[in-house]
């Protein structure tokens, strides 16, 4: 008998259908991957299973856990199931933990809630945390979430979900917010726990490569429906549904970059060092420092496409901030076209020549202004611009939107479209260099493929030079002539992309290549298809 | 945590030093001669000179400042000109009314506001929420002296449960508390209304956070999640308001003191200003400044107790 049986589950929220007759089975000890892009209904399926749909949701059909239909249970009875019979791991480890409670207490709460005595709950919570790879010496249960890294927090999240040894574990994009190295470790942990304890795992992810080699079966969702389902090997080989094929194509998509036409040096980062003060243990202690950047040097030529890759905390963000002149280095210099980039001086012309696109397409816009105003924002750097509306229209066209879109508000656009608008905003001043800071990390595969094509096209047609910052080597590979690898505040490798992949010279590079999730080699029959 | 408290303590001492200087200078640069103000325009030159000597106004400023600060530190606040009694004694007498009244009102307001705010947040958008929010709207709109008069009318005149005003002193603590009850309620109602609204909106913000969803996935009921994970995270804005309210209640109760004939600090400062009794004004203002700074210090400590992320800030 299956552990979880979802039958003809339909959900509407405020009259809008989000799930349409979804049926799924999950056996004990099995890992079922649920995949699809944003808005396909993956997360809604997970929340419906947990009985945590937003208010105003109406559910039809059945969700049976060990034979009990959860949809007919009253809220009080559902609370008994949550945590006890089914646990859930969420996407955002930075916000999923209570910031004012110790991690040990947060895990222990799952047990005290079921009547376990406090001391015993604490002990079992400490055991669970240790089992999740949090060394009690270095990360004791008395820590608060803000004292942990993203990966460590996600381990706490998993510990909470599995502390009461539930039979079903639901993990909603558990590694999407983590860098590739951490992602690989967390996935291995999840799979290990599930296999050891014989739990069923419903693993929700938009990343097909994550599924490969880990899940037993896969279900592909599109617009609230399951369009293909079966053992991973079979679905990967057959790809019966057009949508599955499209997802695959997007996952392995390589933009057509074309040869680079490079000219003289444009950006020069010379021996930059940056320290951050550490908190003092007491007011009279000697000030301590953490070195975020150590003697970093880097040159980008006009028209060149450079990737900057490294795990979280390697100094990428600090270097980005130094390059953009948002932060002053303690030593060394940054120059653009021979002019010093300085955090403490206003230099509109320099700003005009260097623009940036950031990760979060939702947080980086003022929601009260129409798109045309948002895109026109950097134009004040040029002084009086009589042809501002034309420039905005050209920038919007260049990123694949219509000039008329300028009149609409930012709410009307999806994540991918917003990222296009962010690129338009960067392009409007006609910059020589654009810094893309994790600009596609928050996007799902098909949208990401579109943005990568757009960036490649801008390079081909406009000769745009860019610095593409990412934690994912695979993405940088398709988009950059040269890749700079950072680790622990230093540049450990700076070489042409293909050389780097052919023979990585530094262990850090090898680790990044090994951690990047990969899809299986192309199925032979697919090559022949038109 | 200890280091954080020490740093806050250093900043408290510095604020006090600066404040004492400002208070002294303001009284100092106020136009005219305090002695002449106190005696009126028709006073004899030698009477004015005698008063100046008595007040120490003939000494250099630095010396007078140091003497004043020294007095503040040792509890010698000088002698009131109008009452001819030691200021320290007067202030202490008044403080014995104002401080209990402020604490009483603050306790009442917190006790009223927490259940109301929690209830409204838990039933957001439903009838209960609308009713509570309507009541708090009223509580903010209606001035506290009007509440005070209604309370007197109902509980003192019609029902006769409480006296209509006056303060019998602390020799009979029960009678003293009884005398402070109606004023405390009148003071607390508008404060409770504000606090309940702040708590409600802070809680509603917190309820949208991911960790509340995590708590629900752990098996907590909606209310358990709100109570165990929501409240503490919503406390920062609430503490800020409570801190401000205490400072206000200590000296701002003047109208309520007037309505209930209570010999509190508010009335003392009002009388001292009217009588140009600058020694009293100076001392009471300094005392209030001290109270506000102390409350700020305590609020800072409470922040750090509530939110571990604040403990390590510089």
Instruction: Tell me the per-residue pLDDT of A327-370, one tens digit each, with 9 for 90 and over.
Output: 888 999 999 988 898 878 788 888 889 999 988 777 778 888 89
What's the pLDDT at A282?
Answer: 64
At B136-168, the pLDDT tens digits run 999 889 888 888 888 888 888 888 888 777 888
B313 confidence band (pLDDT: 50, 70, 90): low
A100–B contact, CB cutoff 8 A: yes
A50 interaction partners in chain B (CB closer than 8 Å): 217
B227 interaction partners in chain A (CB closer than 8 Å): none
Tell me if A109 and B217 make a contact (CB, 8 A cut-off). no
> How far does the CA of residue B211 sit from the closest CA of chain A (Å)?
4
Instruction: Please give the full DSSP string across B239-251, using - where no structure is assigned.
Output: HHHHHHHHHHHHH
3-state secondary structure of A17: strand
What's the pLDDT at A528?
Answer: 36
Tell me if B209 and A279 make a contact (CB, 8 A cut-off). no
Tell me if A52 and B306 make a contact (CB, 8 A cut-off). no
Whether the CB-CB separation of A110 and A160 falls below 8 Å is answered with: yes
What's the pLDDT at A338?
Answer: 86
Q: How far apart are CA A519 and CA A248, in angstroms?
A: 9
What's the pLDDT at B284?
Answer: 85
B232 interaction partners in chain A (CB closer than 8 Å): 100-101
Question: Quick one: closest CA in B to A102, which residue?
Answer: B308
Q: Which of B209, B217, B307 sits opposite A82 (nearest CB)?
A: B217
> What tokens appear for A69 in the block?
């239909």
What's the pLDDT at A526?
Answer: 45
Question: Quick one: closest CA in B to A148, which residue?
Answer: B309
Among the listed ranges A391-405, A470-484, B22-36, B240-254, which one has the minimum average pLDDT value?
Answer: B22-36
Residue B87 has pLDDT above 50, yes or no: yes
Q: How far apart are CA A209 and CA A220, in angstroms?
A: 13
What's the pLDDT at B31?
Answer: 64
Q: How far apart are CA A185 and CA A177, in angstroms?
A: 13
Strand partners, A229: A219
B218 interaction partners in chain A (CB closer than 8 Å): 82-83, 87, 109-110, 113, 160
Instruction: Please give the full DSSP string across B99-167, using - where no structure is assigned.
Output: HHHHHHHHHHHHHHHHHHHHHHHHTTTSHHHHHHHHHHHHHHHS-HHHHHHHHIIIIIIIS-SS-SS--
B7 interaction partners in chain A (CB closer than 8 Å): 283
HSE-up (13 A, CA, CB side) for residue B53: 6
Q: Which of A75, A99, A280 sits opposite B309 (nearest CB)?
A: A99
Tell me if A109 and B221 make a contact (CB, 8 A cut-off). no
- Topology (CATH level 3) of domain A4-251: Rossmann fold (3.40.50)
pTM score > 0.95 for this model?
no
Query: Rounded to the nearest 5 degrees, what angle is found at the Cα of A494, between the Cα atoms of A489 and A498?
Result: 135
Tell me if A100 and B214 make a contact (CB, 8 A cut-off). no
Q: Which of A282, A433, A413 is nearest to A351 (CA)?
A: A433
B126–A contact, CB cutoff 8 A: no
Q: How far apart are CA A198 and CA A192, in angstroms?
A: 10
B221–A contact, CB cutoff 8 A: yes
> How far does the CA of residue B238 sit from the closest CA of chain A (Å)?
16
Q: Which of B7, B215, B229 sits opposite A283 (nearest CB)?
A: B7
Averaged confidence pLDDT in chain B: 86
Q: How far apart are CA A232 and CA B240, in angstroms?
A: 55
Neighbours of A358 (CB within 10 A): 18
Tell me if A90 and B214 make a contact (CB, 8 A cut-off). yes
Whether the CB-CB separation of A371 and A405 falls below 8 Å is answered with: yes
**Segments of A39-186 assigned E as strands:** 57-65, 68-69, 86-89, 168-172
Which chain A residues in 129-168 lie under 8 Å from chain B, judged by CB atoms?
A: 144, 146, 157, 160-161
Q: Which of B13, B170, B8, B203 is nearest to B96 (CA)?
A: B170
What's the pLDDT at A172?
Answer: 92
Tell me if B216 and A52 make a contact (CB, 8 A cut-off). yes
CA A418 to chain centre: 16
**H/E stretch holding A162:** helix A150-162
Q: How far apart are CA A466 and CA A497, in angstroms?
A: 15
> What tokens appear for A152 in the block?
């460590």
Q: Which CATH architecture fits A303-514?
A: 3-Layer(aba) Sandwich (3.40)
A286–B contact, CB cutoff 8 A: no
Residue showing tokens 């003697």: A295
Is A4-251's fold the same as A303-514's? yes
Supply φ then ψ for residue A113, to 5 degrees.
-60, -30
B216 interaction partners in chain A (CB closer than 8 Å): 52, 82
B211 interaction partners in chain A (CB closer than 8 Å): 95-99
B312–A contact, CB cutoff 8 A: yes
**Residues of chain A with confidence (pLDDT) below 50:** 524-530
What's the pLDDT at B74?
Answer: 86
Q: Which of A79, A160, A281 sits opposite B214 (nearest CB)?
A: A160
- Which sequence spans correspond to the domains of chain A? 4-251, 303-514
Residue B312 has pLDDT above 70, yes or no: no
Q: Which of A100, A279, A283 sits opposite B308 (nearest CB)?
A: A100
Close Cβ partners of A331 (under 8 Å, ≥ 6 residues apart): A271, A272, A273
Q: The domain B90-312: what is its CATH number?
A: 1.10.3720.10
B302 interaction partners in chain A (CB closer than 8 Å): none
């Amino acid at each position: 008998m299956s552990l979880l049986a979802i039958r003809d589950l339909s959900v509407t929220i405020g009259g809008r259908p989000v799930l349409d007759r979804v049926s799924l089975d999950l056996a004990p000890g099995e890992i079922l991957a649920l995949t699809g892009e944003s808005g396909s209904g993956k997360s809604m399926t997970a929340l419906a299973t947990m009985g945590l749909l937003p208010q105003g949701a109406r559910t039809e059909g059945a969700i049976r856990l060990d034979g009990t239909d959860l949809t007919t249970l009253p809220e009080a009875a559902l609370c008994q199931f949550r945590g006890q019979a089914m646990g859930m791991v969420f996407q955002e480890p930075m916000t999923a933990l209570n910031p004012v409670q110790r991690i040990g207490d947060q895990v222990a709460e799952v047990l005290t809630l079921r009547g376990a005595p406090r001391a015993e709950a604490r002990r079992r919570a400490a055991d669970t945390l240790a089992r999740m790879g949090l060394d009690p010496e270095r990360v004791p249960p008395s820590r608060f979430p803000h004292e942990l890294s993203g990966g460590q927090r996600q381990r706490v999240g998993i510990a909470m979900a599995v502390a009461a040894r539930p039979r079903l574990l639901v993990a909603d994009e558990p590694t999407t917010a983590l860098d590739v190295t951490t992602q690989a470790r967390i996935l291995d942990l999840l799979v290990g726990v599930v296999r050891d304890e014989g739990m069923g795992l419903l693993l929700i992810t938009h990343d097909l490569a994550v599924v490969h080699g880990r899940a037993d079966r896969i279900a592909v969702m599109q617009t609230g429906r399951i369009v293909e389902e079966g053992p991973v090997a079979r679905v990967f080989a057959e790809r019966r549904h057009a949508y599955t094929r499209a997802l695959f194509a997007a996952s392995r998509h390589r933009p057509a970059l074309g040869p680079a036409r490079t000219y003289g040096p444009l950006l020069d980062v010379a021996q930059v060092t940056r320290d951050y003060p550490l908190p003092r243990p007491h007011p009279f202690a000697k000030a301590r420092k953490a070195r975020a950047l150590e003697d970093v040097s880097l040159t980008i030529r006009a028209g060149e496409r450079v990737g900057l890759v490294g795990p979280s905390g390697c100094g990428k963000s600090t270097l980005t901030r130094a390059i953009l002149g948002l932060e002053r280095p303690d030593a060394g210099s940054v120059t653009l076209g021979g002019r010093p980039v300085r955090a403490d001086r206003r230099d509109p012309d320099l700003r005009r020549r260097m623009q940036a696109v950031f990760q979060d397409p939702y947080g980086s816009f003022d929601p009260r202004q129409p798109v045309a105003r948002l895109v026109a924002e950097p134009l004040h750097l040029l002084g009086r611009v009589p042809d501002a509306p034309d420039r905005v229209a050209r920038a919007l066209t260049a990123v694949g939107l219509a000039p008329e879109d300028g009149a609409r508000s930012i709410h009307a656009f999806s994540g991918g479209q917003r990222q296009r608008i962010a690129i338009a905003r960067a392009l409007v001043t006609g910059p020589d260099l654009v810094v893309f800071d994790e600009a596609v990390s928050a996007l799902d595969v098909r949208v990401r493929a579109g943005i990568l094509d757009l960036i490649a096209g801008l390079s081909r047609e406009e000769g745009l030079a860019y610095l593409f910052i990412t934690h994912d080597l695979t993405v940088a590979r398709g988009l950059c002539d040269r890749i700079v690898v950072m680790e622990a505040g230093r540049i450990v490798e700076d070489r042409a992309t293909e050389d780097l992949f052919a023979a990585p010279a530094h262990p850090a590079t090898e680790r990044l290549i090994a951690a990047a999730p990969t899809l299986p080699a192309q199925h032979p029959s697919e090559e022949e298809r038109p | 945590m200890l280091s954080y408290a020490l740093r806050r303590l250093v900043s408290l001492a510095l604020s006090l030093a600066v404040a004492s200087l400002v208070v002294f200078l303001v009284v100092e640069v106020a136009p005219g001669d305090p002695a002449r103000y106190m005696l009126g325009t028709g006073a004899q030159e030698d009477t004015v000179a005698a008063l100046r000597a008595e007040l120490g106004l003939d000494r250099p400023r630095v010396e007078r400042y140091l003497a004043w600060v020294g007095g503040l530190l040792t509890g010698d606040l000088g002698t009131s000109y109008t009452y001819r009694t030691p200021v320290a004694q007067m202030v202490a007498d008044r403080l014995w009314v104002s401080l209990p009244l402020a604490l009483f009102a603050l306790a009442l307001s917190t006790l009223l506001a927490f259940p109301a705010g929690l209830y409204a947040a838990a039933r957001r958008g439903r009838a209960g929420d609308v009713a509570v929010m309507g009541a708090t709207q009223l509580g903010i709109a209606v001035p506290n002296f009007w509440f005070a008069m209604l309370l007197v009318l109902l509980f003192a005149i019609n029902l006769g449960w409480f006296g209509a005003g006056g303060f019998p002193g602390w020799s009979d603590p029960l009678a003293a508390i009884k005398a402070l009850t109606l004023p405390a309620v009148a003071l607390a109602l508008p404060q409770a209304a504000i606090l309940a609204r702040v708590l409600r909106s802070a809680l509603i913000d917190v309820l949208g956070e991911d960790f509340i969803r995590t708590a629900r996935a752990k098996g907590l009921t909606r209310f358990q999640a709100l109570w165990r994970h929501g409240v503490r995270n919503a406390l920062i804005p609430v503490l800020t308001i409570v801190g401000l309210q205490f400072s206000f209640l200590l000296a701002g109760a003047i109208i309520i003191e007037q309505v209930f004939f209570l010999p509190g600090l508010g009335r003392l400062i009002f009388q001292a200003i009217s009588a140009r009794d600058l020694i009293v004004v100076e001392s009471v203002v300094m005392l209030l400044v001290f109270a506000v700074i102390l409350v700020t210090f305590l609020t800072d400590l409470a922040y750090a107790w509530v939110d571990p992320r604040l403990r390590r800030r510089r």
